[in-house]
Amino acid sequence: MEEEHPMKLSDKKATLTFSDGSQGAEFPVYEGTIGPSVVDIRKLYAQTGMFTLDPGFMSTAACSSSITYIDGDKGELLYRGYPIEQLAVKCDFLETSYLILNGELPNAKQKADFEHLVTHHTMVNEQLQFFLRGFRRDAHPMAVLTGLVGALSAFYHDSIDITQPKHREISAIRLIAKMPTLVAMAYKYSVGQPYVYPKNDLSYTGNFLRMMFATPCEEYVVNPVIERALDRIFILHADHEQNASTSTVRLCGSSGTNPFAAIAAGVACLWGPAHGGANEAALQMLEDLLAAGGVDKLGEFVAKVKDKDSGVRLMGFGHRVYKNYDPRAKLMQETCREVLEAMGLQDDPLFKLAMALEKIALEDDYFVQRKLYPNVDFYSGIVQRAIGIPTQLFTAIFALARTVGWIAQWDEMISDPDYKIGRPRQLFTGSPARDVPDLGKR
């Protein structure tokens, strides 16, 4: 996999002083290739006896990384230096995966070899079918997927010596290859249909669509418009720097656990509605709005969104990182229109409602001033519904795409000579030490 990039020491230093005149400290500053520099506070506690406090890690870099760069103010997302807008148009998902894992885009031979390697690892052990039967049919796909990914370590323990780069590479390929098979199995189980085995002559995304929607009764033909749309969704979700689930994978992996366990932890974190569940929440909002009267009631809904006391939230708009337009959303917006047109769904009431809401958000001063633009979740939810993917499965599709980012970030951490087990500190605000009174005196 990709070689490490050493951190670059700045000529500048940071000095910490205290207003009461107590001992201060000086810290080195490191510069990134682009983006903010960092103050290295590793010796802060040793020098001052204090920790920093940063809930939500709003100003803390927990690692150095050369994989993904985001500039939220500019609305910029780069994988290994390449803008997402170019990758989503010029590359497919497996090319993008190769780039994220190896640091450079593949040439024609490398691309063919990588595709062959991934394609020939897509089958999963037959025993996993029996594992699935332990779940209720109506179990949330993310509950099923968390279990299935964690269970992989029981089947592939031949390659989980994480100190060996070759083992890490084999585990990465296995996870990327098998994730679509697991997601499709979780879906088929929930609808009571037989599992469909992967086919080696289809593309990564075409294969996934066939495993999802084929039945033994008739041959499934992959629609190229839908295949390209879903492939683009995969590319746009492949990595997103140090977000909650990626940080979870790194923290879990820092204990030296096997990669399957670390990725299962990432899947569990992604499940939350504030993270991967956002597109599910966005579509649920649209469905609720449709049931309440649709386009005719849009004015009332928007008025409630603007009223802080109403408790009504606009889902699928704005982003914690992007203070401008989400660069992924623009690409997804085009894909959304292509898919609706290809499937003749422009007049579907839910999609008409979504487009009407989008128009208001892009033109209404309230939303424009607050930069509440539609984000990638808003459009990807609409596209997935049009394709026929049930809302409950959206986050599992996200997990499928993000697996390559998770495994690349995990590998980068394990390869880093500075890596240590993650151990955040705290500001303790509970009771000081006290004696336990006898039972009769409490």
Active site residue ranges: 319, 377
Structure token pair of residue 384: 């997935």
Neighbours of 1 (CB within 10 A): 17
Sequence-ordered alpha helix ranges (H) in 292-393: 298-306, 327-342, 349-363, 365-369, 376-387
The amino acid at residue 410 is W
Widest pairwise Cα distance in the chain? 80
**Any idea which residue has 């669509």 for tokens?**
209
Structure token pair of residue 415: 């390869």
**For residues 105 and 94, what is the distance between their CA atoms, to the nearest angstrom?**
10
**DSSP letter, residue 159:** G
Beta-carbon contacts of 233 under 8 Å, excluding residues fewer than 6 positions away, are: 332, 335, 380, 383, 384, 397, 401
Question: What phi, psi does 9 have (nearest 5°)?
Answer: -75, 135
Kindly write down the DSSP assignment for every residue of 282-314, as one continuous string.
HHHHHHHHHHTTGGGGHHHHHHHHH-GGG----
Coil, helix or strand for 145?
Answer: helix
